[in-house]
Structure 1
């Protein structure tokens, strides 16, 4: 049985010439009549152009948003861990909040109201007289208002024996209302009273009172006006 060999000869130049021939004389107004290869080439070019424009005008913004969200992920995880810890400890946090509110209420009760300031000043004066001290100066100053309370400074100068002055300071600190002593200066007498055994103490007593609802509203209005004026 004889075998006949099949010889196939492929001319590359002829093939390229055939391909080039399909691209010659194309009518841009009639793409439907183009040969197969120009149609495929036009389709591929259009697909590449559409994908490129889609990436520039659509996917680029989406990718930027995706990168931004990925950057937020560690922060959100940390925030989640913190809130999870708070949720686990919520009963204890509520208990602490209740204790703080109770403590604040107790402190507010130690602040005199506007009508009680005169009685408090009288209590301070009586505390000094009760220890046998002589008041050389007892002068309330200008009230200074803060956000939710007002501070009233009182300039004091008393004279008496050392232990009586110390007892007076202790009595002031033990008043039912909050009174603090600042800038204490105790000096020995001079001149004819040098041997009397008495000392002179100068100090500034500060007492505090809470502001009522109307005063708090006035404070907020004043703060808002000041802020508006600062912006201008």
Structure 2
């Protein structure tokens, strides 16, 4: 629209008359109001109605819609995850079987209670076989864990440097799991070396021990409550 046309349209609107239309309105008889007040009241009622609808109804619906959209996204992600697991189900089964096999192999490396004496003798023989002299070989009390027990053994042996190293290597190569901890080495007056360490071996608990351990744990948990 050209500037002249805009000015002409502005002149065509009689603002003074519109202002006069809003004066002296009778609220008891709106049917007799001029057009401008009627239009203004209609627009005001429309805006108030829309605002009230938003505040009392539409706002909650929008929040519910946003919540459902978030839930939809979560469900889609869960569906994608489950679908991926379903596609790789055979591979997961194979991995689980491999884990069970490896766990069984590790479990077989743990002696039971009846085999502990032979294992202790095997550790002792490993030192004697290397020409070492045992000053101390003292098994301690078992430390009970979830399904196995640790048996600490305080050892003190005398011998040459290479013999002590070979002994440690022999212990590491045993079919049963034995670890050497808290190792301390020092020389002696006769030129030999003295090795002090805490050897720890492991055994699995039998059914009776497992039941007793479980009962003790439950009793302890009850006392805490």
1:93-122 CA-partner distances (Å, limit 9, x unpaired):
111111110000000110000100011000
> Which of the numbers 197, 206, 211 marks the counterpart of 2:200?
206
What are the equivalent positions in structure 2 for 1:60-75 lying under 5 Å apart? 68-75=67-74
**Number of equivalenced pairs:** 176
Separation (CA, whole Å) in 2 of partners of 1:153 and 1:176:
18
2:136 aligned partner: 137
Q: Which runs of 5+ in 1 are unaligned?
A: 1-12, 18-51
Trace 1:70-149 onto structure 2 (pairs within 5 A).
70-149=69-148
Task: Compute the RMSD of aligned alpha carbons.
Answer: 2.5
Cα deviation, 1:117-167, whole Å, max 9, x if unaligned, reads 011000000110111000000001111000010000000100001111111
Whole-angstrom CA distance in 1 between matches of 2:61 and 2:214: 46
Between the aligned partners of 2:192 and 2:98, the Cα distance in structure 1 is 46
Counterparts of 2:211 and 2:66, CA distance in 1 = 47
TM-score norm. by structure 2 comes to 0.70
Cα distance in 2 between the residues matched to 1:148 and 1:62: 55
Q: For 1:188 and 1:205, how far apart are their aligned partners in 2? A: 20
Relative to the length of structure 1, the TM-score reads 0.68
**Separation of aligned partners in 2, 1:166 and 1:75:** 58
